[in-house]
Amino acid sequence: MAGGWALLEQLAAQGKPVSGLPELVDLARAGDPDAIRLVREAGRRIGEVLAAAVNLLNPAMIIVRGDLSHAFEPLAAGLRELVYQRSSAVATRSLRVEPGAPDAPSGVAACAAMILDEVLAPTAVNALLDA
């Protein structure tokens, strides 16, 4: 419902067919009201899911990545709206929502980097060997 193809279909149904997410992002950044509304609604849908994770995990930061993150302001506005509505005040007191660095790894590469940095770090391995 918040995926790129769904947003492109919705925009096309409104008479504004675009070739892909970069074009949708460009429209949103240029101030097109339909594109902004769609991106913000995508943020709301993502925020619905993230609210449960925020309540459970109490993260300090949510980093937003992906093609839509290039239209960060409307995306983050929708995301924040739902996260702050549906998460506890304790979990959101110091929560930050930030765009990811454009050159940072994402998806599987980010998970692999996290495993290497945390789980297979020398201190973690030594702690397991000493136990």
Q: Does pLDDT of 100 surpass 90? A: no
Q: Under CATH, what is the fold of the domain 4-100?
A: Nucleotidyltransferase; domain 5 (3.30.420)
Backbone phi and psi for residue 24, each to the nearest 5 degrees, phi listed first = -60, -45
Q: What pTM, to 2 d.p., does this model score? A: 0.77
Domain residue spans of the chain: 4-100, 103-131
Q: Closest Cα to residue 97, out of 63, 67, 56?
A: 63
Q: What is the pLDDT of residues 14-72, one digit of tens each?
A: 888 888 989 999 999 999 999 999 999 999 999 999 999 999 999 999 999 888 889 99
